[in-house]
Amino acid sequence: MQLGSLSRWLKRDVPVFEGEHFTASVGGAGKDVLLIHGLAASPECWDESGEYLSPGVRAHAIHMRGFSGLAPSGFRSPMNFLKPMADALAAYIRAQRIGPVAIAGHSMGGLVSLILARDHADVVDRLMVVDVPAYFSVLITPFATPAAMAPLAQHSRRTYMDKSKPELQDELRRTSEKLVRDPAQVARIVRWGMASDRQTTADVMAEVMVTDLRSDLQRIEAPVDVIYAWDRVSPVSKLALDQVYASSYAGLRQGRKLRLDDARHYVMIDQPAAFYSAVNEWLTR
C-alpha cells in the first residue's frame, strides 16, 4: 500500500502541534517516526516518504521555526539553537506519550537528533542521521576543530547577513545546484532558503560549524544508522568519503553506515526508492 506524497498524506488531517520551537504535522497510523529537516529547509524534503514508506508508520513531520516560511522562535538566542531544539523535541515526545520513537534527521536536523539521543535516551528508540558527519566542519577540512573554525563561522555568519536579496538568491541557487541532481528541484530548495529567516539561518549555520559531537557518540545508547550520499561531481572519491564518515562516527556503540551513490545532499529527493528502502529496513530491524 502506497500512501502518496507526505504533504497529501498529512492533509488527511490529524492535529497539528504548534510549539515555541517547531510545529509538527502528523499522518498515518502505526510506529511513530519523527522526520527532522535541515538548515534553511522544509519538511517538504520528506514528501516522497508517503509514497515509499511501508504501511504501519505514523510520521511526525517537524517544521523548525525560522525556516521555509515559519516565523522564528522568540526564544532563540545566537549560537544556542541545536540543544534547545533537541530539548523541545524530547518534551514533545513525552507530552504526546509516544516514546521511545524512531527519529530521522537530515543535515542540521541530524545533529539535533544526535543531541536528542545523547541527552534524552528515554525517548529515542533508534536514529537515522542523513548526510552529515558528527562534526560538519570536517567536510571543510579534515583538521577542523571548533576553536580553529570559530573565526570562519562568524565570518560566514556576517557575510550571509550582509548580502543583498539578489546576491543571496544567486548564492542559494549556485549552492542548491550542488545539493540536488534534478535541476527542477533547485528552484524549490532556493525557495525554502529565501523564505527562511535570515538571522536564524546565519546564526545556526555558524553554530553548526563549531558543534563537534564526535566525542559524545559513545554516550548515545540507541542504534544510529548513518546514510550519506556520493555523486560523480563530488570533490572527493568514494573511498575518501567513506573514510570521513567512518572516522566521524567511530565512537558509536551500534548502528550501520550506508553510502548511496548517484545522489547529492538531498539524497531522499535524488534517490527516493533506495533511500526509503533503507529507511524501511531500519524501521523493521
What is the average pLDDT across 210-228?
A: 98
At 41, which CATH number? 3.40.50.1820
Q: Is residue 64 part of a domain?
A: yes
Global confidence as pTM: 0.95
The range of the structural domain enclosing residue 21 comes to 6-134+213-284
SS (H, E, C) the chain: CCCCCHHHHHCCCCCEEECCCEEEEEEECCEEEEEECCCCCCHHHHCCHHHHCCCCEEEEEEEECCCCCCCCCCCCECCECHHHHHHHHHHHHHHHCCCCEEEEEECHHHHHHHHHHHHCHHHEEEEEEECCCCEHHHHCCCCCCHHHHHHHHHHHHHHHHHCCHHHHHHHHHHHHCCCCCCHHHHHHHHHHHHCCCHHHHHHHHHHHHCCECHHHHHHCCCCEEEEEEECCCCCCCHHHHHHHHHHHCCCCCCCCEEEEECCCCCHHHHCHHHHHHHHHHHHHC
Please choose, from the candidates 222, 246, 212, the residue with its C-alpha nearest in 3D space to the C-alpha of residue 116: 222
Task: Tell me the average pLDDT of the chain.
Answer: 94
Q: Is residue 143 part of a domain?
A: no
Q: Is residue 84 part of a domain?
A: yes
Q: Is residue 147 part of a domain?
A: no
Q: Is residue 193 part of a domain?
A: no
Please tell me the predicted confidence (pLDDT) of residue 75.
Answer: 86
Q: Is residue 149 part of a domain?
A: no
Give CA–CA dist 109/129, Å, rounded: 8
pLDDT in tens, 100-149: 999 999 999 999 999 999 999 999 999 999 999 999 999 999 999 999 99
Please choose, from the candidates 134, 143, 149, 260, the residue with its C-alpha nearest in 3D space to the C-alpha of residue 209: 149
- Residue that has been written with the C-alpha cell 522564528 in this structure: 72
Give CA–CA dist 236/231, Å, rounded: 9
Total tally of structural domains belonging to the chain: 1
pLDDT in tens, 69-108: 999 998 888 899 999 999 999 999 999 999 999 999 999 9
| Residue 83 main-chain phi, psi, to 5 deg | -65, -50
DSSP-derived pairing of the beta strands 16-18 and 224-230:
unpaired
Percent of the chain with pLDDT over 90: 90
Q: Is residue 72 part of a domain?
A: yes
- Residue that has been written with the C-alpha cell 535524488 in this structure: 270
Q: Is residue 24 part of a domain?
A: yes
Cell of 231: 555523486
Please tell me the predicted confidence (pLDDT) of residue 15.
Answer: 47
